[in-house]
Structure 1
Amino acid sequence: MNHIALSKAVDPTTGMRRRDVLLSTCSLVAAGIVATTVLTVASPVPAQGSTPPNILYIVADDLGWKDVGFHGSDIKTPNLDKLADTGVKFDQFYVQPMCTPTRAAFLTGRYPMRYGLQTAVIPSGGLYGIPTDEWLLPQALKEAGYKTALIGKWHLGHGKPEYWPPQRGFDYFYGALVGEIDHFEHEAHGVVDWYRGNEQVKEPGYDTTLFGNDAVRLINEQDPQTPLFLYLAFTAPHTPFQAPQEYLDRNAHIADESRRAYAAMISAMDDQIGRVLDALEKRNMRENTLVIFHSDNGGTRSAKFAGESEVKGELPPNNGPYRDGKGMLYEGGTRAVGLANWPGRVQPGVVDGMVHVVDMYPSLAGVAGAKLGKNKELDGLDVWAAISEGKPSPRDEVVYNVEPFRGAVRKGDWKLVWAALLPPKVELFDLSKDVSEATNLAEANPEKVKELQARIEDLAREAVPPLFIADVMRMATSTAPSTPEFYFINPD
């Protein structure tokens, strides 16, 4: 068993190392951001057929773009490869640069800057969450007759019960509330973070396997006449790099210890995805199930964004040709591996246009026949025709993120990354010729820089202040109880 202990240098009041809070904030300030917005509300377009499709939405945690078989990795992912080969691969699937913002963008269809989740992730001691006045995708699908379930990682608010999944549209929840847990002990800072519904539970086992077991059980018990929305949010391959021995042995060809454990986590996740697909087949549900898979951000290339666990040596994720990784606004942090698969409805191929995770809200709502209207104004576009019919993506702009200290936006092939604090840094790239973002064209194209900076400034005026910054200030002066357990209260 490859077991890396959680750091003990934790402030008991905040549940987070104060040094890491400051480092994370400084790292984000020093980095750079990209932003773009599209404000449209799509009308629902019911799917063809007698019943709405089941939706299996799978999210990996900190998976490198190149760390799947169908992108040429030495890590074998046969189940994901089969989904990719028989479905569509996303060539330009964009997410936010970190976990909490991406998950929020998916479930709201709106850029996180609109409700304060644009900066960093919700730390262990954080008391905030995705605002309760946001109408989430599971709420819309539930109204359309779906059974809604989240199995896996939440990370959208754990300090107050009103932020928890059962209160946010999920009929069923099994998994972890915070962002990083020990994969065998299911603990963060010595506190058990493992829930079924609103109840804390203590169960032995490797979390990836337990998620697969529970997803299979849920499918086996599902009434086939009721459509299912299953959000399967793995904690793999997020730090700490841990996996059962059988998966370490399977990846014995990888010499580096950290990368072997990281690869083993991916192997375990791929196996569980295969089990879930098999369960759908056995229930005769697979033909009417849309599967979406992507990572929540690029693979981690800097220890500043590796979480609260200790890491040794070079970080193992591989983002292929893309610059940098998690936490950064470059392509390596924001262009994620992704695919869609639905037998008979999605033909094999590639969606080569821009798609953003916010587009999943209106696209899935349309396929499901769910009504929009209770949601706030969406940034997402309905890209279902691009996925199912090979039509061009309607998106010509991507907002990578907008924060008080940085911003980044793409318009067509031009991308601007702007670190706004002193000393400021402006970088302009032509992604049609330079996906690695190696050549800064800002000095040679002052008008394009001016245009994209104006776009970022407009977006910044629409944004609300980051909740992370306010909460860091609260934690820095907190007199809360001396145990992080304070933040895992039972609503009953």
Structure 2
Amino acid sequence: MKIRVTGAFLFNVLCTISYTCCGETVGKRPPHIVMIIADDMGSNDLSYRGLDQITTANLDAMGFNGIIFNRHYTEPICTPSRAALLTGQYPIRLGLQGEPISAGEDRHLPPDVQTLPQLLKELGYTTHLVGKWHLGTARREDIPKGRGFDTHYGYWNGYIGYFDYETKSAMTITSEVYEGFDMKENFVDAWKDKGIYATHIFTEKALDIIDAQNKDIPMFLMVGHLAVHTGKNGMVEVADEKTMNNTYGYIADLERRRYVDALMNLDDSVGRIVEKLQQRDLLQNSVVIFMSDNGAQIRGIFHNGGSNYPLRGEKFSHHDGGIKNAALLYSPLLEKKNYIHDHLIHITDWLPTLYSLAGGNITSLKKTDGVDQWLSISQNKPSKRKNILINIDEVKLYSGVIGYGGRYKLLNGTIQSGFYDSFTGEPQSSNKMDYDIAAILNSRVNKAIKKSKVPGKHLDEALIRNLRKSSSAIRNNSKCNRGTEKYEICHHFCLFDLWTDPCETENLIRQKSKDDIVLNLKNQLAEFWNEVSPQTNKPVDINSDPAKYNGTWCTWLDDEFCIKIKTNNQNKNCNENNRSTSSIPVLKL
């Protein structure tokens, strides 16, 4: 007779005995997992990296108390990154390696692919998503509650206005623009919250989830912030213009000033979430992760004022400015803390790492490109990962791979003739700000960690300065001092030594001494090319038009669940009534 082992049964077992992950006992019960994701944040935009415009006190404190990832790689754009994160697979397996999903496009995660929240639910976790989804919206089975999340408060598409929660999409053929409201509480449109700054409402919803969490049941909470992506109107919106100008007026560039203000609201959000975990006595058995989904976009339609300095490239690029992004982790479960993790890690690694840490058996996973990295993370041991497929776009014909433990990168081709592959300088201010160590010591994150009374070394000025110096060392690399540096666009093959030339200034492809390395990496790339699933891109569906559905984006292929509008007058009255429920007025920018 077969005995069916349910997630609830396994959880009860785990609650009564110590469990083992990778041969090491890590706790009496599975840890709470909180993952916070910034959108389009530059690798240079946190002050621990040497930026002297601001002090991101909470995020710096999180990294200094835990670990700072120095070689954390993502995908170059949002949909592929989020797909890789939640499935543990390279986007080429899913047909999602191309352009991000457009609002009104019938494209989504393949239904037979396991997601991280689905796997954690089987282990007894509650699973929650706050904020961005961007992995399919046409049917109810495509959206977060259909893919493993118990609850979702946020938006389904790629971006929204910070106050009006609207997004738009253009028809490919007619260039007609569809616009609609896109803030949901599970399946219900959150009209009542319209006018509240997006970062603030997402933070409050995350705090509510933590407040309601049963301490004895493990929680997976993913917070996908809108910040610091541009809003619907093409710029980063701020909570209050006057406050922004009074606080950051020393930054002359208005776009950069807006970006910094939004980033500091994001930093405060992280502080409040960690603080709430401590107040609920959850922090001492939690893993808190922060990352950006890709690099900042410096040019192009969604340019936001971010900075990837001194790295080359930006969002969309296969150069490190687009894919080697800021990432931090804090957990009392770490055996080694207060260090810079300099080993290779990819965004696909989080699924097997967290699943294993939660008590799952990674050999049971159907398919994964990820590697269980917990021993490398917790003990600062070498990574099991030796190479990374950056991405393959078989339509636009560009691809890239990193091999030799993260040392050598091979690129073949580029996008838009290298438009996104340039260098950008350090953001300028009228005066440089002193690094505010007192702000870090007094941050919500640092105070919460101290109050949790977890054994380990507490931060002091010397430790902070030492860690910051180590994490910003790339700025001192002689090849990163570009000035009038000329660089080669990789229209064909390029080879870079990322250890000696982290800013990718010198193409080594013609050096005979590197022929064996090039051949090896070409062979690796060729193997991945043979495994590509064709892109599933489709035009925006005319039937998705929000004008048909109360002015909202809906699961239009499950039309029977959508609220419909019969007349223009009815639509106008409905929207006016909905707007009147907002307790905070929309800020006009």
The two structures have a TM-score, normalised by structure 2, of: 0.71
User: In the alignment, what sits opposite 2:111?
Assistant: 132
| Closer/same/farther in 2, CA of residues 87 and 247 from structure 1, 3 Å limit | farther
Query: What code does the residue aligned with 2:377 have?
Result: I
Deviation at 1:339, TM superposition (A): 0.9
Counterpart selection for 2:72 from 68, 86, 93? 93
- With 353-362 and 158-167 compared, the bigger mean Cα shift is at 158-167
User: In the alignment, what sits opposite 1:418?
Assistant: 412
Instruction: Determine whether 1:291 maps to 2:288.
Output: yes
User: In the alignment, what sits opposite 2:343?
Assistant: 353
Query: What code does the residue aligned with 2:40 have?
Result: D
Deviation at 1:450, TM superposition (A): 2.9
Counterpart selection for 2:313 from 321, 324, 329? 324
User: In the alignment, what sits opposite 1:242?
Assistant: 237
Deviation at 1:374, TM superposition (A): 6.1
User: In the alignment, what sits opposite 2:99?
Assistant: 120
Deviation at 1:323, TM superposition (A): 0.5
Query: What code does the residue aligned with 2:201 have?
Result: L
Say which SS state the counterpart of residue 274 (structure 1) adopts: helix
| Closer/same/farther in 2, CA of residues 433 and 143 from structure 1, 3 Å limit | same
Aligned mates of 1:209, 1:420 — CA distance in 2: 38
Instruction: Determine whether 1:197 maps to 2:176.
Output: no
Counterpart selection for 1:49 from 17, 27, 36? 27
Aligned mates of 1:87, 1:410 — CA distance in 2: 27
User: In the alignment, what sits opposite 2:49?
Assistant: 71
- Map 1:218-237; keep pairs closer than 5 Å: 218-237=209-228
Aligned mates of 1:103, 1:46 — CA distance in 2: 29
User: In the alignment, what sits opposite 1:11?
Assistant: none
Aligned mates of 1:83, 1:420 — CA distance in 2: 36
User: In the alignment, what sits opposite 1:362?
Assistant: 352
| Closer/same/farther in 2, CA of residues 372 and 390 from structure 1, 3 Å limit | closer
Query: What code does the residue aligned with 1:392 have?
Result: P
User: In the alignment, what sits opposite 1:406?
Assistant: 398
Say which SS state the counterpart of residue 293 (structure 1) adopts: strand
Larger of the two Rg values belongs to structure: 2
Deviation at 1:424, TM superposition (A): 4.8
User: In the alignment, what sits opposite 1:19?
Assistant: none
Instruction: Determine whether 1:454 maps to 2:523.
Output: yes
CA RMSD of aligned residues (A): 2.2
Aligned mates of 1:321, 1:485 — CA distance in 2: 47
| Closer/same/farther in 2, CA of residues 425 and 56 from structure 1, 3 Å limit | same
Counterpart selection for 1:141 from 110, 120, 124? 120
- Aligned residue pairs: how many? 437
User: In the alignment, what sits opposite 1:215?
Assistant: 206
Work out which structure has the larger RCO, using CA pairs closer than 8 Å and 6 or more positions apart in sequence. Answer: 1
1:203-228 C-alpha deviation (Å, 9 max, x unpaired): 13011100100111111111101111
Say which SS state the counterpart of residue 70 (structure 2) adopts: strand
| Closer/same/farther in 2, CA of residues 196 and 480 from structure 1, 3 Å limit | closer
Say which SS state the counterpart of residue 467 (structure 1) adopts: coil
| Closer/same/farther in 2, CA of residues 410 and 257 from structure 1, 3 Å limit | same
- With 260-269 and 415-424 compared, the bigger mean Cα shift is at 415-424
Aligned mates of 1:481, 1:215 — CA distance in 2: 30
> Which 4+ runs in 1 deviate beyond 6 A?
43-46, 420-423
Deviation at 1:448, TM superposition (A): 2.8
Retained in 2: the 8 A contact 1:129–1:158? yes
| Closer/same/farther in 2, CA of residues 248 and 154 from structure 1, 3 Å limit | farther
The answer for unaligned runs of 5 or more in structure 2 is 1-20, 169-178, 418-489, 562-589
Say which SS state the counterpart of residue 230 (structure 1) adopts: strand
Counterpart selection for 2:536 from 457, 467, 478? 467
User: In the alignment, what sits opposite 2:148?
Assistant: 169
Say which SS state the counterpart of residue 148 (structure 1) adopts: strand
Instruction: Determine whether 1:433 maps to 2:423.
Output: no
Say which SS state the counterpart of residue 265 (structure 1) adopts: helix
Retained in 2: the 8 A contact 1:290–1:341? yes
- With 416-425 and 118-127 compared, the bigger mean Cα shift is at 416-425
Aligned mates of 2:274, 2:517 — CA distance in 1: 47
| Closer/same/farther in 2, CA of residues 299 and 485 from structure 1, 3 Å limit | farther
Aligned mates of 2:184, 2:337 — CA distance in 1: 38
Retained in 2: the 8 A contact 1:385–1:391? yes
1:281-328 C-alpha deviation (Å, 9 max, x unpaired): 111111111111110001112215x2xxxx6xxx52111221111001
Query: What code does the residue aligned with 1:488 have?
Result: C
Query: What code does the residue aligned with 1:451 have?
Result: N
Retained in 2: the 8 A contact 1:143–1:370? no
Query: What code does the residue aligned with 1:64 have?
Result: G
User: In the alignment, what sits opposite 2:325?
Assistant: 336
| Closer/same/farther in 2, CA of residues 44 and 366 from structure 1, 3 Å limit | farther
1:341-391 C-alpha deviation (Å, 9 max, x unpaired): 112525111110110010111110111102446643211001101111111
Instruction: Determine whether 1:254 maps to 2:251.
Output: yes
Retained in 2: the 8 A contact 1:396–1:411? yes
The two structures have a TM-score, normalised by structure 1, of: 0.85
| Closer/same/farther in 2, CA of residues 132 and 482 from structure 1, 3 Å limit | closer
1:33-59 C-alpha deviation (Å, 9 max, x unpaired): xxxxxxxxxx87685221111111111
Instruction: Determine whether 1:395 maps to 2:385.
Output: yes
1:91-147 C-alpha deviation (Å, 9 max, x unpaired): 100000000111110111110100101112101231111111110010111110111
Deviation at 1:449, TM superposition (A): 2.5
Counterpart selection for 2:63 from 84, 98, 116? 84
User: In the alignment, what sits opposite 1:386?
Assistant: 376
